[in-house]
Copies of this chain bind each other. A is one copy, B any other.
């Protein structure tokens, strides 16, 4: 049995006209001899409408009941789409999370998939040519509805492909693939034919909206080839897959950026053991995610600690840091919201030195001051003033030759 998994997001199922385009994609998949598993999101705007109801009803909506509420969004999508398929004479049926069943833990609102009954799925694929599956939802072992968190439909699709044996998974969206950088700020941005899981992970964590980060982790873990493509064109899109030699030939595969950064510095912190825990422990307790961290080498037994957080968390962070500074005897807390980060990402970095130096040199040459640096095995991240972001992206894109197509 040849199986293809396709996933369509909220904008692809927004209305009847869009859904008819989706049907064309599914019919084309059938015509190529596939049995199909089609995963749908809620129609665009629907999840937000339902969450707004929950917020109107309660200041602290019960999480389990919230999942019962919002899971109706996908239920509406799959019922309507299956009607369309049956109108076209396709042997199809809808499947809710509990009907598969797609078993998850009971962390309502951001549950993790623990098991998928693939034997039952395969049996259903004997009886039907298309299974239309509600994305984003699952159910606990004792039969309560859960949801996987925002972007969870991507994860549903990849998990189904993994359960069915690493069959290819096509994620349809309103862009035609993964780009070397944001085409809105860099006219030479180029759609990639292939990108490695690791690179996609780094891009997703930088806020690239194409794929949900958990779905990429899932795809990487179970080696599911994921193709990102557009509902509205026939472009083959971008294949997210295991790295291969052609990818390693590139130093850098993509440039990402994130403007949602605020920088906080504690000056003259006494450099004693446990100081990092004293600073970052209280933030973690309040659920504030810290992104980049730099600690200067000690001078006269004192040091400066600088880190960045999401701008929405800045006020809370400053309140916590004022208290921390008093406790540990730091001289002052300063902050800056006019900052942003730019990253160069590429599995090729593993085998090449000098990438960071080339990036720094290129930026400095154009007069861009580097505020913080953080590097990982396949990523270099640089914090700069926000006003330079677009310029920095174009410079790095050019420096690493991303406008050339060498695939």
Q: A16-B57, A56-B16, A98-B98 are in contact. Are A79 and B68 (CB under 8 A)?
A: yes
Interface status of A58 (Cβ within 8 A of chain B):
yes
Q: Are B93 and A80 interface neighbours, CB within 8 A?
A: no
Max chain B C-beta neighbours (<10 A), residue from A76, A78, A143 = A76
Q: A98-B98, A99-B143, A143-B99 are in contact. Are A76 and B72 (CB under 8 A)?
A: yes
Q: Are B98 and A82 interface neighbours, CB within 8 A?
A: no
Q: Which residues of B contact A75 (CB under 8 A)?
A: 68-69, 71-72, 75
Interface status of A84 (Cβ within 8 A of chain B):
yes
Which size bracket describes the interface of A in this complex? Answer: 35 or more
List residues 277-324 of chain A with CB under 8 A from any CB of chain B: none
Max chain B C-beta neighbours (<10 A), residue from A61, A80, A98 = A80
Q: Which residues of B contact A19 (CB under 8 A)?
A: 57
Q: Are B58 and A84 interface neighbours, CB within 8 A?
A: yes
Q: Are A86 and B62 interface neighbours, CB within 8 A?
A: yes
Q: Are A65 and B87 interface neighbours, CB within 8 A?
A: no
Q: Which residues of B contact A99 (CB under 8 A)?
A: 143-144
What 5 A-B pairs come out closest when comparing CB atoms? A69-B79, A72-B72, A68-B79, A58-B83, A65-B79
Query: Can you list 17 pairs linking A and B with CB atoms under 8 Å apart?
Result: A16-B57, A54-B79, A54-B80, A57-B80, A60-B87, A62-B82, A62-B83, A64-B93, A65-B79, A65-B80, A65-B83, A66-B83, A68-B94, A72-B72, A72-B75, A98-B98, A99-B143
